Structure 1
């Protein structure tokens, strides 16, 4: 009879070994059953579809140490370009920035090194612009020219104190990318799990099954049969025994070892609805608990069966503040429970579209969808004669936060401020300049910057070595207690006659603790409260006065501070004693003291 092709059975043998090595692979097998050869190739390479990502920031511009610190706080590190191909890739990826971008290469002990690994950058990996590096003293950091007409994607050494754009990277490897039996190895755009000895599969997990074969005419030949068995807690899906046919193919697909979950608990005062894509209470099954009227779940109400055969709560969708907004909630019965009220306030420069408040009903639904915070738009700006205009639009074209930089052609001089920004009022910070023929240059010390104003609810302190708001002036903004700085604190007057950063605003800190509610005025008295931001929150203050015949014991005014406490205790209204009132016609009422008791409000 015809024998099975040895090559086919060798591939099957490899596949069987990997099939029994973990449920994460089994999920991939189910998705790829129509292309088994592709499946085998994917298994041999390992890894998942996560990616090494690049992230950049141009607002604000940062000095090199500040740029690296920002990358370490928000991502993995500053981008350490390893070869020319990566330089070209980043050049295609990033937008043009007049100040260009820092990268993670510095000079140390006379050598250029990758900052993240402290390794020396080899000559073949360096991508300097012509006549660079120029070895000028104190130019120990590296920038990359992005989308520059000349020397694009090339490197240049610069002073680390200069401010430029920031480029960071985030790695693909995460804590759960591979099992504990493997090392996660980074690659560009992906990662690979390198298995420890004795482990196989894409994530190098422990084997969850076994098989044995009977070979009457030799290994993996005609009439060879293999029987499969799964470990406790795993169920075999498919035919348990395979036979090598005269056609040279196995008579059934390879079975799977699928993790099983124990049946879920059915509550007496509720119902359970399950969706089982494979088998009841098996991998991928999801069960949702609902309670009868008058009852509520005591824990997460959705469970899913994981690959390991364990149950875990499904992630709840909590209420989150919309982008560019603050949200403050009052929860009288618990977080996001019946009676909770959440209000939304847009950040400066954004208009609220929709309803600013939503309430949790008795049915567990929010009364309104959360609003949208839309950036204010500024008038459209166009390019001008003998010049060009380059804009960055973080919130939409010509919207709040958009920055436009004007440059002139060779032989022309900029008449006006090069940079303008769309402000929170929907207007440009400066007029678009013109390009005139070059004239005599002024000395730096006579260059002035626009006058600055103190931010509302804040203060501004400046040092002026060459005169008020002139070249070299440095200003620092701070906010009052209870307010949060929205922008960059420090700015400097540059040689171009413009500030390195805009003056920030001071926004009320949305996450301050609210003060206890004052439900009613003191007995025999009156209370008048004002709330500049929200009810009984930071900045709220209440005034008190007593009815006629009573005097105020305590402070007349209470103020809510940013720690959620009132400045004073609630006053009371005490009855006046020992006072005789004599009414004199046409003149009013006169208080007469009839004994030696003294009440402060009567002046006795």
Structure 2
């Protein structure tokens, strides 16, 4: 292999030296039939990221140093005019890493200058990060060495154009080397471009086994590396080895060719109290073998849904092996108050044909069949009977009847005696005692109870009655014992007699109904100098009396009084007072006379004050026919006082 490095001269790419050198490289590449790997550098300085972008735009990428030989080559080949070049190494996550591959820098490829990397600790300000790498070229001190530097610094970009291209190595990876490249072949391949593949012996897999077949798939060519051969057997046969055969990189098949063997099922045994008949077309208890099971008379197959089993291709019988069990009827329940006779198998599960007979103890009768038989269907021929006690009907069916028996009501056996009575408020009709006979009948008819009632009370006029429990009407029936009736009167009337009465034994009321009399008010008399007119001769509830006065007298008080329901008049009895004109005359006479006795003057003053006090009463209620005196009259009274 031959590689040629193209050195880009400083200046324009169109210079004569560049054209001649490019033409010479192209000719050499054609003559040698190889691709060229070339280094390049920029005319101008730039920061690290700008240098990376410039290299990727014009070439492949920024130079990532691979080993010491490459460092020595670059130091001798690059010009002396520029000393500092950016190279494709940068600190990522605090690890020095090759750009493009993102692989950590190896010890073999490192070429740090003395004391480097130091991240700016040599006199630099604190906090400055030097995460990019420059290389010294042909410098007097430490040529070819590296220094960590701030990525913003201006340096010359150092680039490369790769020789490895897509498809250069068919089944391998292209590896760049100094002035050359090589193909690292994948497992199973070889050749300059990894174009050759390893092959295995097809004779070892092509011949199919007995009752089997083989199917091979080829990824890189017939019976070559990673060719896969999968074997299968006919139905009823199975492979001795289930793993497929694979062609390995050592030209050997991964497994020995398998064989197809007849599928075998587990051997079956003849059931107890039964028989088994098998057919084996291919071999004993093998694929397609069939076994039929039968049982002796009185026995049935259990443990399997079918009487025929077949060996399937899976090597498993299509069902579980059956067994023969005797036909059994369900265990008979214990006959309460009776006996079941079934021979020696009493109380056990019984076989076909067995018969059981039943009988009851004294005082009980058999209800149902006297015997049952176990049938071939594993069922008893009839339903189980029962022993029923001979008892009389409960005598408590009648309402309000109380019975006291010598035996519990749930067990009224013959000769049981019962006494009968009724609840309170009821009287017995029938026998006071009954006896249960041997045939389960009572010696007498069951008695009944009839309610004790009081007669409907006669209610006087104006009397109101309320009974508990309530009645639809005072004369309704029945009136049972314990019923209480309360009495009340209408408004304006008074109760005369008991306030209530109760229906007591033997159907009589505790008292007679009361009466209601009207409330009376005191008799009223006509006022002096007046008259009275009443609606009734007797002043009873709602009676009214009206009052009038003689001429020259006015009514002081209410004109109409009513007797209320408490026996009181609604207002005080009014009076008749002298008319205002008479009083004025008296006053004038006193003034004209010029003299008046002390007693006479006192009487006059009293009359005047009385009139003034009653002046406000002239405004009567709506029931009064008396009008208020004129305003002039009121003023005259005030002036007199």
TM range (shorter): under 0.3
Q: Is the radius of gyration larger for structure 1 or structure 2?
A: 2
Higher relative contact order (CA 8 A, sep 6+): 1
| TM-score for the superposition, normalised by structure 1 | 0.25
More helix per residue? 2
